[in-house]
């Protein structure tokens, strides 16, 4: 009769685990490495004979860029690698980008940008023991080569035209002497604030934001019909046809939802600027898709992190998220050569 040998789970772990010391930028960390009797176990997170995981910092920064808290990052590292990393160490790793952020914020910019987009995303930050709402002010530019670049990110109080003046003055101090077209949402007083700094600028209000504002007045059942009607306005071949179609829509909808169309009429001067450009330039201008896709990245941060402990912690996360998004911007804007040639004709001597 064969003898039966029973090995408890605890004994098996003690017998088959080995000790290993890893080197990182922040010192040495001991870990336990699972083994098996036939040496067929192949670790994936930390391969055999690997004793240096300095690249762990990049993984920490990547998780931080997604809005994970320091505690969540520490727990994830422990789950994956099997060793402890304190929240303080995570903080030290993320703080390493502060100098980089400061240098990035001060870097010299180009003298002219054909198109820029400005917007703000709101976050909750702890300030003097209270949770307050702060805005991450973002300026995205399309340069003369047709490439998208985030020019600056700043953290301030709730979005206001006055604060945007501060942001744009900073751009001017960093070398931006002229902007041809600026696309943004409908913040009150923003046009005047921008014109005070760049008096020759063309100001285009975002059509997508305008459609959303109109939809607030309309129940869900009628929104699709209204959206289709509005296409006859902003997709018209000329401003005259667009405005004529707008007046017809006012007549159609004024009794049912008067506010839905009235805001278009009241703001037609800043909604119709794109009509003076070709279809190629209009496609870039009349929506803020370029910055909306960036904002969607920031909004995912909000889902993962309800409150940031400081303004700097928020800035670090937004900056790292921006770098990650910019890596995907490898192509110039569609039909950019044609757009640039038209800009040079329309704004002779400015670009």
pLDDT tens figures, 106-122: 999 999 999 999 988 88
What pLDDT is recorded for position 186? Answer: 74
- pTM given for the model: 0.77
Domain boundaries, given as residue ranges, for the chain: 9-96, 108-203+301-351, 207-287
More confident residue, 5 or 26: 26
* DSSP label of 110: -
What pLDDT is recorded for position 297? Answer: 84
What pLDDT is recorded for position 23? Answer: 54
* DSSP label of 203: E
| Closest among 335, 283, 285, 275 to 181, alpha carbons compared | 285
Total residue count of the chain as it appears in this document: 351
CA distances from 241 to 63, 103, 259, 312, 341 (A): 50, 49, 22, 49, 26
Confidence of residue 39 (pLDDT cuts 50, 70, 90): low
How confident is the model over 295-320, as a mean pLDDT? Answer: 86
Confidence of residue 306 (pLDDT cuts 50, 70, 90): confident
- pLDDT of residue 3 exceeding 50, the answer is no
- pLDDT of residue 48 exceeding 60, the answer is no
Q: Beta partners for 120?
A: 137
**pLDDT tens-digit profile of 234-290?**
999 999 999 999 999 999 999 999 889 999 999 999 999 999 999 999 988 876 666
User: What is the C-alpha to C-alpha distance for residues 327 and 302, in angstroms, rounded to an integer?
Assistant: 21
What pLDDT is recorded for position 52? Answer: 40
What pLDDT is recorded for position 88? Answer: 78
- Asked if 238 and 222 touch (Cβ cutoff 8 Å), the reply is no
Q: Which CATH number fits domain 108-203+301-351: 3.30.420, 1.10.357, 3.30.70, 3.40.50?
A: 3.30.420
Provide the percentage of residues in the chain whose pLDDT is more than 70.
82
């Amino acid at each position: 009769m064969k003898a039966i040998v029973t090995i408890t789970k605890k004994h098996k772990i003690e017998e088959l685990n080995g000790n290993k010391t890893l080197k990182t930028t922040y010192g040495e960390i001991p870990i336990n490495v699972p083994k098996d009797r036939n040496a067929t176990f192949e670790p994936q997170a930390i391969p055999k004979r690997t004793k240096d995981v300095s690249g762990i910092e990049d993984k920490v920064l990547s998780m931080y860029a997604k809005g994970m808290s320091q505690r969540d990052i520490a727990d994830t590292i422990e789950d994956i690698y099997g060793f402890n990393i304190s929240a303080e160490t995570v903080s030290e790793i993320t703080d390493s980008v502060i100098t980089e952020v400061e240098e990035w914020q001060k870097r010299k910019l180009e003298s002219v940008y054909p198109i820029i987009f400005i917007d703000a995303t709101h976050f909750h930050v702890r300030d003097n023991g209270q949770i307050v709402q702060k805005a991450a002010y973002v300026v995205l530019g399309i340069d003369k080569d047709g490439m998208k670049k985030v020019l600056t990110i700043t953290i301030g109080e709730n979005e206001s035209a006055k604060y945007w003046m501060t942001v744009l003055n900073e751009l001017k101090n960093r070398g931006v002497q002229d902007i041809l077209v600026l696309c943004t949402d409908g913040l009150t007083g923003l046009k005047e604030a921008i014109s005070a700094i760049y008096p020759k600028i063309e100001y285009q209000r975002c059509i997508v934001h305008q459609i959303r504002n109109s939809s607030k007045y309309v129940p869900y059942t009628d929104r699709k019909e209204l959206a289709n009607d509005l296409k006859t306005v902003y997709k018209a071949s000329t401003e005259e046809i667009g405005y004529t179609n707008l007046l017809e829509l006012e007549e159609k909808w004024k009794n049912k939802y008067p506010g839905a169309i009235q805001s278009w009429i009241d703001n037609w001067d800043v909604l119709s600027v794109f009509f003076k450009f070709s279809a190629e330039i209009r496609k870039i201008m009349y929506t803020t898709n370029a910055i909306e896709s960036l904002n969607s990245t920031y909004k995912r941060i909000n889902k993962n992190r309800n409150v940031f402990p400081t303004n700097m912690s928020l800035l670090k996360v937004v900056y790292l998220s921006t770098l990650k998004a910019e890596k995907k911007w490898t192509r110039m804007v569609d039909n950019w050569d044609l757009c640039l040639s038209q800009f040079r004709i329309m704004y002779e001597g400015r670009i």
